[in-house]
Chain A
Amino acid sequence: MIPEIGHIALILALGIALIQAFFPLAGAQLGITSWMRVARPAANLQMLFMLIAFGSLMYAFIDFDFSVKYVANHSNSKLPLLYRISAVWGGHEGSLLLWASILAVWGFAVSLFSRSIPDEMVARVLGVLGLVSIGFMSFTLLTSNPFERIPMQADGADLNPLLQDFGLAIHPPMLYMGYVGLVVPFAFAIAAMLGGRLDAAWARWSRPWTNIAWLFLTIGISLGSWWAYYELGWGGWWFWDPVENASFMPWLVATALMHSLAVTEKRGAFKAWTVLLAIFAFSLSLLGTFLVRSGVLTSVHAFASDPERGVFILAFLAIVVGGSLALFAARGRSIRSYVSFNLLSRESALLLNNVLLVVVTFMVLLGTVYPIIHNAFGWGNLSVGKPYFDLFFVILTVPLAIALGAGQLLRWKRDSVTNLFSKVRTALIISILAGVSAAALLMPKFSLSAALGIGIGVWIVCTTGKSIREQLASRSFAAIPRGFWGMTFGHIGVAFFAVGITLTSVYSIEKDIRLAPGESYELGGFNFAFDKVNEITGPNYSGSRGSITITRDGFETVLHPEKRTYFSSSMPMTEAGIDAGFTRDLFVALGEPLGDGAWAVRLYHKPFIRWIWLGTIIMALGGFLAATDKRYLRMASRARRQSRQTPVTAGATA
């Protein structure tokens, strides 16, 4: 019964989406207020129906309803509750339902928090959201229905054991909140082009939405990276897999978009750029959806690939992106800015920032789709992997990081070389000294890459410190806008990230050795002593659990790597033992038993690896601070006051 309710709710949601798309957009175009007013109630209703649909699927999972095909394929009678819930988005059909549900959530949020935005714009924004919803809901209903029934099964197939993990359970919702959230700035851009009005107010409305989508995307991607590190056991945290790239590209463009919006709001410049970036960011989200589900690229992350589904998504992509870019081609000229700024100014630094980020995005895109290009020309399949991406990523982001430091100290509109140099001189000297000396004295051996990485981190921190001092010179601490702290946190996050990835890639040590209980091994200055191995049993698995004691100068810890065999599959799974630390991770994993009680044991010493995710968390925090700047709350409360004081006139625009 419940799955049927869910199914019907989804169909009804599609119907509402059709209404939400047609009436507000037509109403805004023709000036019919009553039609425009349909937008908010429609978005609210859509939220309600998607909640019912999603809730029904979740209920089916929690209740072990193995007569629903999707549940039978991704669950099991012994699956713990937490994973029964996360299994909802563990497969293709459910994850699409999650996509559509999160889209409804964003629509609801826009409907709720847009009091200060004129009705015409809200109508258009929600209308565009409705259009996108139509695409996803019809795709789900027509090709990937999660509510499909089969004869009741005795038991389910089980959720992929890899997904039975907390980090991976929340990774998709976080990622989708970001991925899908980029539809809001996209919709704002479309609305602005349709309405023919693009000004600082428009930028001010778009910014918090962009920041929040960006911060979720940041969290989502870092969760995936962190999970890969502690779960997969190969010590890596990023593989440049096509699906990883598919999430990284929107992030890069969204970062550029955030910065571009700031300039458009503050100085009225970069209007055409900002609109294009907003379209580009969401297009990459949609492209990502296509890549993951169509089978054009090989990836460990891919859902069951299906070229027929791929055609559907491609058609949708063509309509949404093609349509918006066609609109841009038509309206681009009329929205461009006529604002002047000097060659050396904060505007030009931010322009450089945007350009570099876009170049990085194109590089990642090129590397990701090149196998398709190569094959299309009849040259067979090709692999483009980590060596390619790592090389160009470093080449392109080093100048970006340097520009970041200098850029935040440049004046708007016009600055001079002497002025800039006087501000950064100290930071420059400190960074170079710090980089070289830290790499030479604090690290096991000197490395130019390490010096560069540390130097860049210090450079960003010093220049950020200087910009804070500049703020404090002209106002009190309490008077500094939260948006500024958003910026500083964001940049400090980048510093930690840069230092983390550099040091861990240069100084990580990994050893695969044969060890028997009673034996020990020295790695990175730590002593790893193999104590014993026990047999263990869990709710849906059984296996072996090792005990390894790690010691060094008074420090001691015991790790318990495990090897589990889940009842549902014959393949064993490795759970690593990790001692996480601020300056290093110690990592132990069990391989095969080698006979005579000895085991193959994998040991890692990974310096500063936590700085990678610490950096991303700080960045995300920055996004949150920027999004909750008092200005936006003031905007909303002023709008509420205005609507209470003056009678609402039909079709009034701010």
Chain B
Amino acid sequence: MYRLAYQLPLLLLVLLSAPLYAVFETYTFETPEQERIYKKLTEELRCLVCQNQNIAGSNAELAQDLRKKAYEQVKQGKSENEVKTWMVDRYGDFVLYSPPVKGTTMFLWAGPLIFLLIAFVVLWRIGRARRKQTSETQPVDEHSLEQARHMLENKES
């Protein structure tokens, strides 16, 4: 709960400035592949001074600086991973919008598949219970019973 004194005015400034103003560079590339890598990088790297934006969509100075760094490196022929590693070395995993797969993110990446597995187990058990039910005793289908009751009630009124 400790508020950083310097963050609040910065925050307000950023809230008002960040998405409003499209600042973009007119970088040129030697190959379309380089351009593709650059675009992907700017979309997947996080702007650290913004309220959740990538460096492509932010006009904050740091975002502009990082775009420039990414551009310089892509021009030198660096690969997407090399540039990302460079960024992570300085700013940590936080700068990546696609979190790295490591021990601490295992549950994040495996999670959806675990959910799916649980879902299928649940479905299978429901299916098995129903098959067992129909093979053993056939409880009165509640719905048909209710429909009958409803029809009788309507006939009366």
A200's partner among B17, B46, B138, B146 (CB-CB below 8 A) is B146
A381 and B52 CA atoms in complex are apart in Å by 13
Q: Once the chains are docked, how many angstroms separate the CA of A343 from the CA of B133?
A: 13
Interface of A, helix, strand, loop or mixed by DSSP = mixed
Q: Which of B124-157 contact A (CB under 8 A)?
A: 126-127, 130-131, 133-134, 138-139, 141-143, 146-147, 157
Give, as a whole number of angstroms, the nearest-CB distance from B99 to chain A: 6
C-alpha spacing A370/B93, complex, angstroms: 14
| A574 pairs with B21, CB closer than 8 A | yes
CB pair A300–B115 under 8 Å, yes or no, is no
Asked whether, in the complex, the Cβ of A571 is within 8 Å of the Cβ of B16, the reply is: yes
Q: Are B141 and A234 in contact (CB under 8 A)?
A: no
The complex places the Cα of A234 from the Cα of B22 at a distance, in Å, of 8
Contacts A161-B20, A298-B51 known; A387 to B44 CB distance under 8 Å? yes
Once A300-B53, A340-B134 are accepted as A-B contacts, the answer to whether A383 and B99 lie under 8 Å apart by CB is yes
Size band of the A side of the interface?
Answer: 35 or more
> Which residues of A sit under 8 angstroms from B34, Cβ to Cβ?
none
With CB as the reference atom, state the residue of chain A lying closest to B17: A571
The answer to whether residues A200 and B98 also contact, given A234-B56, A358-B119 and a CB cut-off of 8 A, is: no
Q: Which residues of A contact B127 (CB under 8 A)?
A: 343, 348
A512 to B24 alpha-carbon distance, docked (Å): 7
Q: Is the CB of A385 within 8 A of B21?
A: no
Please, how many angstroms separate the alpha-carbon atoms of A558 and B126 in the complex?
A: 60
Interface size range on B against A: 35 or more
Judging by beta carbons under 8 Å apart, are A602 and B94 in contact?
no
Q: A396, B108: Cβ atoms under 8 Å?
A: no
Find out whether the CB atom of A374 lies under 8 angstroms from the CB atom of B104.
yes
Question: Provided the pairs A359-B119, A363-B111, A385-B54 are in contact, do residues A300 and B94 lie with their beta carbons within 8 angstroms?
Answer: no
- Determine if B97 and A387 form an interchain contact, defined as CB atoms under 8 angstroms apart: yes
Whether the pair A162, B19 counts as a contact (CB closer than 8 A) is yes
Interface residues of A in 337-353 (CB under 8 A from B): 337-341, 343, 348, 351-352
Residues of the B chain whose Cβ atoms lie less than 8 Å from the Cβ of A234: 22, 56-57
Known contacts: A340-B133, A383-B95. The answer to whether A300 contacts B21 by CB under 8 A is: no
- In the complex, the chain A residue whose C-beta lies closest to that of B12 is A304
Write the nearest CB–CB distance from A338 to chain B, whole angstroms: 5
Are A366 and B108 also in contact (CB < 8 A) when A161-B20, A242-B52, A383-B99 are? yes
Interface residue ranges, B against A (CB under 8 Å):
1, 15-27, 39, 43-44, 46, 50-54, 56-57, 92-99, 104-105, 107-108, 111-112, 115-116, 119, 122-123, 126-127, 130-131, 133-134, 138-139, 141-143, 146-147, 157
Pick the 4 closest A-B CB pairs, nearest first: A385-B97, A268-B143, A387-B98, A234-B57
4 further interface pairs, Cβ-Cβ under 8 Å (given A232-B57, A343-B127): A161-B20, A241-B52, A242-B52, A267-B143
Can you report 7 residue pairs joining A to B where beta carbons are below 8 Å apart? A200-B143, A307-B1, A362-B112, A370-B108, A385-B44, A385-B46, A396-B116
